[in-house]
Amino acid sequence: MKDLFLKFTPRINFNLVFFALAIFIMMGIVLKINVIMITGGIAFLLMVFYLVKKNFRYLLIILILLISVFLSFFVNQEYKMANNSLSFTVFNVSKNYSILSNGGKKFLFKEFENEKQIGQTYKMKCECNKIANKNNIYQFNFQKLMLSKNVIYELKNCQNQKFISDNFQTKLNAKKQINSDWMKSINNLEENDLTISFKNLGISFLLNSNGYLVLTGYYFLDKIFRRWKKYHKIKIILYLPLLFNLVLLNFSVEISRILLILFINYFSRIWKLKFGYWNKHVLIWSILLCISPNWFLSTGFIYSLVISFFNQFYLKMNCKKNVIKNLINWSLTIIPLQIMFNYNILFLLVLNQFFWQPLLSVMYLFTLYTNLIPGMGVIYNIFFSISLSLAKIGELVNLSWNIGHIESFYYVIYYLIYYIICKNSLRFRSNRVLMTILIAFSIFACNINNAKNNYNFIAMINVGNGNSFLLHEQGGKNIFFDIGSGIGKSKNTDSDFLKYYGLNVIEAVFISHTDQDHNNNIDQVSRNTIIKNIYKNDFYFRKMIVNDISIQNFEYYNEKDPNDSSQVLLLNWRNKRMLFTGDLPKRIESQLVADKEFYSLFLNRGLDFLQVPHHGSKTSSSREFINLIKPKICFISGENKGRLHFPDPITLNTLQQSGCITYATLGINTYKYLPFTNKKSDIEIIN
């Protein structure tokens, strides 16, 4: 057994094994699972004992990883805020929040009275609570983002905010003209038209602390000066502005990663050091874990890990000069990651990156070396205008398709097959059969959501005090009844829902009336899905058929009051009756009760489903109206937030007395009504 182990061990990169075990232990720390921590710790110590006894060359990595594990304990331990005022330094800033630090601990903060700058110190007394994920499963997970930045707690209800001082970072950032739109974009400080366009093109990662741009820029410099003999000895001077920028941005992980790569490559050349491919990457990742212990939870780490894993084959196959082979390899590596994190495929993603990365890298390097020179803001504005114009043109031809959420093991299988293909390519073996298997498996995985969602439902999407109801028919046909979010809810909510479930075509959108909370998501949805028809309330019809669903409209159009003009849509869907009412007020409800045609429809039979008018407000849902329509299931899209208190107890009492089973989003849940199910319950809850 010992001989077999010794025969096998030379093939193992123990640095990579140590790194994997350290990640295993830190995952246990984050998840508070003692079994994982203990198991990983014992395995780590046994390997240390064996390898240090045989060879001391692993000591550096071992020590760095032990430091990162210790720091992970510190970052993720429970914290109690002192009762007195404390000093907090601004560590990072964004448009909607800041990250403050105190004694090595980082905190989320959203209550600054004035604009804040990195390096400023404030004194205040605050409450401290753990950050909770308030979004649904299909939405962006803000809690996970903060966790990857080592931020677990949020400061709230702060009193006596008092500015104490600036430091050198604040003063130098002011000189860097950081407030220009261009500087805010490339430093990822706030969302603007350029960052939104880049996000729509799928290349926002190019603006993620500029890591890709830096490496590409210095690659161009190496090509330009490669024949100058002294260049390789003095080029470290060119790294100093990057190091300076790194300090000003409080050691951004992405810039730190690129700077480590540049320094290791430089000193390896000067001192003729030999680093193995994986030894260099493990050393860099280990140092980054010391800078940011929870970095392994970020999408940036996953991208770095997967790209590094397959880049070794790319280098060995020497396909740099073969553009077609280059595009294929990069696409096979990067597109599954795009689907994993964004739930859709952007067909021009790789071409967009190949176009933008060189262009932006030149602009970024110019900015890096000139940002302290007065008067450069004019040139930066030109950079911003050129980039925005080109990005808008790119958006016009951008093609995307929603794939939906795919379980992790499908990605593992995909990359395992691709790994075998890459291995075979190094040995000059034919990969036709394996490539066919990979393509077939990819098509199967990309269509798995079509099978999972092949049933009928009506989804009341959690949009706060807004209205968004999606009718999904078996076979993939969809109809929206209103498509808006309330104040404080993201306008991407409906788009995120469609992407997560892999829905691409909307047969019709009915907009009940002109209030923003009933229609302000339509632009975001139209970017990623095909909308065939939009029917606003100023388009009057009495009856129409959509996908074999009969829709009758009992709207009373009134130009003075938008709520009075709400569409009142009665659906007959395979003998199930549903009513969508927008913000229908009691005054119009009374007119409907007096309408002979409407009244006659409910003499013998009530509703199976009701969208309760006006988010459950007491200004709607009169007793006479509810008693007439006799709904069985009532959905209320509303929450108790700010000055809006939805649903109102009076409305809830009216619905309860009528015998209607009521469900409200309350800013928390999304509900699905399954009208033709064989399950015990016809309601699904999505947290």
Give the pLDDT of residue 55.
Answer: 58
Give the pLDDT of residue 562.
Answer: 86
The whole-angstrom separation of Cα 129 and Cα 172 is 33
Give the pLDDT of residue 572.
Answer: 95
Q: What is the pLDDT of residues 439-459, one digit of tens each?
A: 999 999 999 988 888 899 999
Long-range contacts of 220-226 (CB under 8 A, 24+ apart): 220/358, 220/361, 220/362, 220/365, 221/365
Give the pLDDT of residue 2.
Answer: 41
Give the pLDDT of residue 480.
Answer: 97
More confident: 626 or 372: 626
Give the pLDDT of residue 179.
Answer: 60
Give the pLDDT of residue 622.
Answer: 94
Sequence-ordered list of residues with C-beta below 8 angstroms from that of 51, at least 6 positions apart, any chain: 14, 58
pLDDT at 625 over 70: yes
Interhelix angle 299-317/277-291, nearest 10 degrees: 170
Give the pLDDT of residue 1.
Answer: 41
- Least confident interval from 41-45, 320-324, 379-383, 607-611: 320-324
CB atoms inside a 10 Å sphere around CB 670: 23
Long-range contacts of 199-204 (CB under 8 A, 24+ apart): 200/395, 200/398, 200/527, 201/346, 201/348, 201/349, 201/352, 201/356, 201/391, 201/394, 201/395, 201/398, 202/338, 202/342, 202/346, 202/349, 202/352, 202/400, 203/349, 203/352, 203/353, 203/356
Give the pLDDT of residue 426.
Answer: 61
- Least confident interval from 35-39, 100-104, 286-290, 433-437: 35-39
Q: How many residues in total does the chain contain?
A: 687
User: How many angstroms separate the Cα of 467 from the Cα of each of 513, 611, 659?
Assistant: 11, 9, 24
Give yes or no for a contact between 456 and 675, defined as CB atoms under 8 angstroms apart.
yes
pLDDT level of residue 610 (50, 70, 90 thresholds): very high
More confident: 60 or 75: 75
Give the pLDDT of residue 664.
Answer: 95
Long-range contacts of 382-391 (CB under 8 A, 24+ apart): 383/182, 384/180, 384/181, 384/182, 384/185, 384/194, 387/182, 387/185, 387/194, 387/360, 387/363, 388/193, 388/194, 388/197, 391/194, 391/197, 391/198, 391/201
More confident: 550 or 317: 550
DSSP for 372-399 reads: TSTTTHHHHHHHHHHHHHHHHHHHHT--
Give the pLDDT of residue 579.
Answer: 97
The whole-angstrom separation of Cα 687 and Cα 676 is 22
Give yes or no for a contact between 465 and 487, defined as CB atoms under 8 angstroms apart.
yes
Q: What is the pLDDT of residues 260-298, one digit of tens each?
A: 888 888 888 888 777 778 888 888 888 888 888 998 888
pLDDT at 225 over 50: yes
Q: What is the pLDDT of residues 465-507, one digit of tens each?
A: 999 999 999 888 899 999 999 988 889 999 999 999 999 999 9
The residue-averaged pLDDT of 68-80 equals 82
Give the pLDDT of residue 509.
Answer: 96
DSSP for 112-172 reads: -SS---TT-EEEEEEEEEE----S-TTS--HHHHHHHTTEEEEEEEEEEEEEEE--HHHHH
The residue-averaged pLDDT of 182-193 equals 74
pLDDT at 380 over 50: yes
The answer to whether the pTM exceeds 0.85 is: yes
Q: What's at 249, amino acid-wise?
A: L
Give the pLDDT of residue 170.
Answer: 75
pLDDT at 7 over 80: no
The residue-averaged pLDDT of 527-549 equals 91
